[in-house]
Amino acid sequence: MSQFTSPEDAKALRCPLARTFGDDKPLSSECQGHVCAVWRWKPISAKDPRFTKAINEEIDRLHAEHKAEHPLSDRKKDGFHQQAVKNVSADREAHGVPSEPELGFCGLGGVPLL
Ligand code: SF4
């Protein structure tokens, strides 16, 4: 199993603190996921395939747009990378990239090694 999990899948994990606090009734032994103060989200990586795919598509779009406006230009696709990242980051969901993290981890043991 990955060191990172969705809050839903985290319910299958046992919480080491579940029975060490609380007043009368013991808490569930299930991990409470993102509602727990110890839960930490894993940021979406710049290497996420959805992000890199969106960047490449945006580079292609910007390059095609540039070529249409400047047919004699020899500007290469690499020259559009920075603008593509800016465009995708400005509206991630329109480019198929989640704007919120999806996976997380119990922060009791610190940050998992990547
Ligand atoms: S995040 Fe950690 S401390 Fe919080 S409920 Fe889940 S296992 Fe327990």
Residue 70 Cα to ligand 1 midpoint, Å, equals 56
- pLDDT of 16: 85
Instruction: Report yes or no: 104 and 42 within 8 Å, Cβ to Cβ.
Output: yes
What's this model's pTM, rounded to 2 decimal places?
Answer: 0.73
Which of the listed residues 1, 13, 32 should we mutate to test ligand 1's pocket, taking the one with most ligand atoms within 8 A of CB? 32
- Residues near 73 by Cβ (< 8 Å), separated by ≥ 6? 66, 67
Residue 89 Cα to ligand 1 midpoint, Å, equals 31
The band of 96, judged by pLDDT with boundaries at 50, 70 and 90, is very high
The band of 114, judged by pLDDT with boundaries at 50, 70 and 90, is low
Residue identifier of the C-alpha nearest atom 6 of ligand 1: 31
The band of 113, judged by pLDDT with boundaries at 50, 70 and 90, is confident
